[in-house]
Amino acid sequence: MNKEFRSMRERKKERMDAILDLIGRYSISKQEEIVEKLREEYEIETNQSAVSRDVQSLKLTKDERGCYALSQEAKRDQALEHLQEWFWQTKVTWFPTDFSSILLRLSPHLVHMAPMIAHTLETVFEDDSVAAFVNGSGAILLVMPEEQKEEVEQTLHHLIPNQM
């Protein structure tokens, strides 16, 4: 019985993973379409009522086109699950301390240089106390101990005199 239950759970997980893959690749508006695609692409035999329960479990919603999509809550839950999985696989060191930050935003024509600029800014401060974080839109977040913020601001003021 336990083996049979585990097999049911595994099949449900496989079916739900396949549903997530399908809604990511296709515009699907009906559960019957999901049943059909599961059969065609994954050789998973199921019915509409099982898919309906999966849609609820996965917290799927319909987007502005009427197609199935992950809800914001489901996206958040999925991101949290990934983070938890990653954090369990590594040692994370937490440094609870007082830090200050400075946010720089680069002009669109320099966005591609953001990682290099961030790295160069880190090397300016030799003691490794300044960390630079970059996003894809050209923002650089500098984080440093509170007592070093003035020094960083002065350095930036000399580099970017018209901005600060």
What CATH number does the domain containing 135 carry?
Answer: 3.30.1370.120
CA dist 111 and 108 (Å) reads: 5
What CATH number does the domain containing 58 carry?
Answer: 1.10.10.10
CA dist 64 and 13 (Å) reads: 27
Tell whether 75 is covered by a domain: yes
Note whether 26 and 67 are same-domain residues: yes
Note whether 65 and 111 are same-domain residues: no
Q: Which residues contact 89 (CB under 8 A, 6 or more apart)?
A: none
Question: 0.75 exceeded by the pTM?
Answer: no
Q: Of 59, 88, 117, which residue constitutes the final position of a domain?
A: 88
Neighbouring CB atoms inside 10 A of 15's CB total 19
Note whether 42 and 103 are same-domain residues: no
Q: What is the pLDDT of residue 93?
A: 65
CA dist 101 and 99 (Å) reads: 7
CA 117 to chain centroid: 24
Q: What is the pLDDT of residue 164?
A: 47
CA dist 147 and 149 (Å) reads: 6
- In order of 30, 121, 160, the CA distances from 75 in angstroms are 21, 34, 39
Pair of tokens at residue 86: 């990653």
Contact 146, 103 (CB under 8 A): no
Q: Which domain holds residue 12?
A: 2-88
Q: What is the pLDDT of residue 84?
A: 85
Tell whether 138 is covered by a domain: yes
Note whether 74 and 109 are same-domain residues: no
Q: Of 88, 113, 128, which residue constitutes the final position of a domain?
A: 88
Q: Of 57, 88, 119, which residue constitutes the final position of a domain?
A: 88
Note whether 115 and 58 are same-domain residues: no
What is the full per-residue pLDDT of the chain (164 aa) written as tens digits?
Answer: 566 666 888 999 999 999 999 999 999 999 999 999 999 999 999 999 999 999 999 999 999 999 999 998 888 888 888 878 887 887 766 666 778 999 999 988 889 999 999 999 888 876 678 999 999 998 999 999 988 899 899 888 888 866 64
The dihedrals phi and psi of 116, each to the nearest 5 degrees, come to -70, -40
Tell whether 164 is covered by a domain: no
CA dist 122 and 67 (Å) reads: 46
Q: What is the pLDDT of residue 19?
A: 97
